[in-house]
Structure 1
Amino acid sequence: MRNFIFAALATVALATPASGQIVPDDLTTMPPVTTDYEPPRTPWGDPDLRGTWPIENLDQMNLPIEREEEFGNRAWLTNEEYAERLAAARESDGSFEEELRTRGTIGLSGWLESTDMGRRNSMLVDPPNGRFPPLTEAARPLQEAGRSSWVSGQPRDWITDLDIYDRCVTRGFPASMFPFPYNNGIRVFQAPGMVVIHHEMMSTRIVPLGPTERWPEDVRTYMGQPIGHWDGNTLVIETTNIVDGDAADPDIHRRAASPNAWDTTYPTSAEARVTERLTMVSPERIIYEITYSDPQVYTAPWTARYDWTRNDGYEFYEFACHEGNVQVRDMINSSRAQRLRDAQAAAEGGEAGSGE
């Protein structure tokens, strides 16, 4: 994995602020995505979304997926709250003055000022309170059974006791579409009848456009089967056939506001369906919307919206996750050893350990 030396440095080089959404007077209102920008066209006539669109700045500004309860239905920061966020960003930028000057970047404060995302308090925009809907009763036992190295107290006897991110398979879907603390690069490639979304971390999605036969119900992948079409200049992607299970999409909630979000898993059912909308609103900006519906898990659908900002100078490096991933072996061996030690202690009337 790549270590980010400049963790607080926003590496988006923008000459002018990006256009797009305007912060409304009513801070509980989320305006519709603007569609008045006419994007360039590919040689075959489709809107041209090709480029590199890292979404790291959302992580650097600590924008959670799920809204803090104290904000209620207010989707935007007040002027005072925004001023505090901007002041903190400028203080952070002050530690990187030389890098900002020599690398030609605008810093985190510059990025905050270039997009209205700097005024948002969560990525979730629906439900109106910006929080995930409650789980169904059927989903609660699956959540409790979810296997992951992030969940404490679980015995780990084999790789099936760890989730797909632990094992370097993928972050899952739709988790792969949300920011992570590192390696958040996204590249979009296009060809006639095809869009490819290449992730810096462990995943590539190949999206056919137009009428495409759905896979049989029992054919599933961790990233699902995406099928796309154009709605005017907006790319719409419908994804089904996602692998289901108690920890099939392990880290979607780990950027939530809840302090316990890293110590739980969320299940995925066979009925999960995802609709994404990618709308270019300026040469440097795509607004990404995602609506997730899984009636077996959530009591209602939820929708998130956030920006992709172009940075064609952003470099992808090899994400060598599986190579050298000794943690899986170590976690299994240590868990087995601890449970053996606990059993021996119990037999001798001593104290047992954690069993992890």
Structure 2
Amino acid sequence: MKALRSLSCSLLGSLCFVSGGLYSQQTENPSWNGVPDLQGVYSIATVTMLERGEQFGGELVISTEQAAVVGETGASYLDNLVSNVGGAESQVGGYNTFWMDPGERMAVIDGEIRTSIIIEPEAGRLPWAEGALRRIFSSMRGQQALDGPEVRPMGERCLVGFGSSGGPPMLPVLYNNHSRIVQTEDYVMILAEMNHDARIIRLKDSQHKEMQKWLGDSIGYYDDDTLVVETTNFHAQESFRGALRHFFYLSADAKVTEEFSRLDKDTLLYRFTVDDPAVYSRAWTGELPMNAVEDRIYEYACHEGNYALPGILAGARRQELESEFGLPGQ
């Protein structure tokens, strides 16, 4: 269930854009049990995409006026989706846009309006290794989307969230962009709203477990005021991270290093680096603000009472019979 949104700033409010940058870095950060206190509920919703669009001319930072145009474009996109819902029969598999909550403004870090989550390479684009995309799509070509439930997307099967919402790295999607951080002496837990993904980060361990997990195997430590998390051993079926707002790939041996630090009393800086030589020509790094919200995260009841999948698979079997034996369609 989508958490209720707190009052958010308008994209056109320039003061709202730079509020994070006005916070004095000399302000003492809150601590918990001798370590930085990062606990709370946060939102990573933003209209800033993972990769930088060509319309920004390679620039990482843009002006308030330029950002306003981007915001209006995003609003028009959702308005068009809403207008298409009424009247004519909606597209099968479509979403009710009432529940979409992609964010209302671009990511702002230190007063800078960012055009992409990726900051390295400087171009703001994924540094695919030569032939990597061809190999990825070739490996997927033999799987038919309706062969069985095992080849349906992980999010559709309620195993993990859509795209890379649960991380690592954690990235915004069209809705359910909240997460909750809980700290103990031995662990840090990050609960993603989407699909109720809970990632348990071990603090008193230096060796990764051999078992592959949906969200990888995470160990962490504190470096001054920063929580550093290193994750590897990703489940092979969760390699493809695709959503409307981002697309990338992680091999099972990829390593993701995350850094959580406080920008101000209401904002965390989330920085991550993906190192995966099997897929990318170099490591790539991204940054996102995690904005504190007063909302609570409610239960994510995934597909309760959903009887569509058996019907979808049965329909596919019927189509196969019609094709093989020349049976008339129903």
Using the size of structure 2 for normalisation, the TM-score is 0.76
Aligned partner (choices 266, 269, 294) of residue 287 of structure 1: 269
Q: Structure 1 pair 141/223, CA: closer, same or farther in 2 (3 Å)?
A: same
Aligned partner (choices 146, 162, 187) of residue 156 of structure 1: 146
- Match for residue 86 of structure 2? none
Q: Residue type of the partner of 1:273? A: K
Report the 3-state secondary structure (helix = DSSP H, G, I; strand = E; otherwise coil) of the residue aligned with 1:119: strand
CA offsets 1:113-137 (integer angstroms, 9 cap, x no match): 9866782211111111111112443
Matches within 5 A, 1:60-71: 62-71=47-56
- Match for residue 82 of structure 2? none
- Match for residue 93 of structure 2? none
- Match for residue 215 of structure 2? 223
- Between the two proteins, what is the percent identity of the paired residues? 28
- Match for residue 208 of structure 2? 214
Q: Structure 1 pair 301/330, CA: closer, same or farther in 2 (3 Å)?
A: farther
Alpha-carbon separation, structure 2, partners of 1:117 and 1:179 = 20
| Residue 237 of structure 1 pairs with residue 226 of structure 2 | no
Residue 242 of structure 1, CA deviation: 0.8
Does the Cα contact within 8 Å between 1:36 and 1:281 map onto a contact in 2? no
Alpha-carbon separation, structure 2, partners of 1:147 and 1:267 = 16
| Residue 187 of structure 1 pairs with residue 176 of structure 2 | no
- Match for residue 319 of structure 1? 300
Aligned partner (choices 51, 55, 59) of residue 74 of structure 1: 59
Alpha-carbon separation, structure 2, partners of 1:138 and 1:130 = 18
Does the Cα contact within 8 Å between 1:54 and 1:309 map onto a contact in 2? yes
| Residue 333 of structure 1 pairs with residue 322 of structure 2 | no
Alpha-carbon separation, structure 1, partners of 2:313 and 2:111 = 42
Q: Structure 1 pair 253/128, CA: closer, same or farther in 2 (3 Å)?
A: farther
Worse-superposed segment, 183-192 or 168-177: 168-177
Does the Cα contact within 8 Å between 1:172 and 1:250 map onto a contact in 2? no
Alpha-carbon separation, structure 2, partners of 1:80 and 1:207 = 41
Residue 250 of structure 1, CA deviation: 3.7
- Match for residue 159 of structure 2? 169
- Match for residue 47 of structure 1? 36
Gap regions ≥5 residues in structure 2: 78-102
Residue 253 of structure 1, CA deviation: 5.5
Q: Which is strand-richer, 1 or 2?
A: 2
| Residue 142 of structure 1 pairs with residue 136 of structure 2 | yes
Alpha-carbon separation, structure 2, partners of 1:288 and 1:113 = 11
- Match for residue 324 of structure 2? 343
Q: Residue type of the partner of 1:309? A: N
Alpha-carbon separation, structure 1, partners of 2:107 and 2:122 = 25
Q: Residue type of the partner of 1:316? A: I
Using the size of structure 1 for normalisation, the TM-score is 0.71
Residue 140 of structure 1, CA deviation: 2.5
Alpha-carbon separation, structure 2, partners of 1:299 and 1:114 = 28
Q: Residue type of the partner of 2:285? A: T
Q: Structure 1 pair 125/141, CA: closer, same or farther in 2 (3 Å)?
A: same
| Residue 308 of structure 1 pairs with residue 293 of structure 2 | no
Residue 71 of structure 1, CA deviation: 2.5
Does the Cα contact within 8 Å between 1:196 and 1:205 map onto a contact in 2? yes
Aligned partner (choices 122, 130, 135) of residue 128 of structure 1: 122
Report the 3-state secondary structure (helix = DSSP H, G, I; strand = E; otherwise coil) of the residue aligned with 2:236: coil
Residue 77 of structure 1, CA deviation: 1.9
Worse-superposed segment, 161-170 or 65-74: 65-74
Gap regions ≥5 residues in structure 1: 23-33, 93-107
Residue 91 of structure 1, CA deviation: 9.9
Q: Residue type of the partner of 1:11? A: L
Alpha-carbon separation, structure 2, partners of 1:164 and 1:112 = 28
Does the Cα contact within 8 Å between 2:228 and 2:258 map onto a contact in 1? yes
Q: Structure 1 pair 147/310, CA: closer, same or farther in 2 (3 Å)?
A: farther
Q: Structure 1 pair 292/89, CA: closer, same or farther in 2 (3 Å)?
A: closer
Residue 81 of structure 1, CA deviation: 1.1
Q: Residue type of the partner of 2:67? A: Y
Q: Residue type of the partner of 1:162? A: R
Q: Residue type of the partner of 1:165? A: G
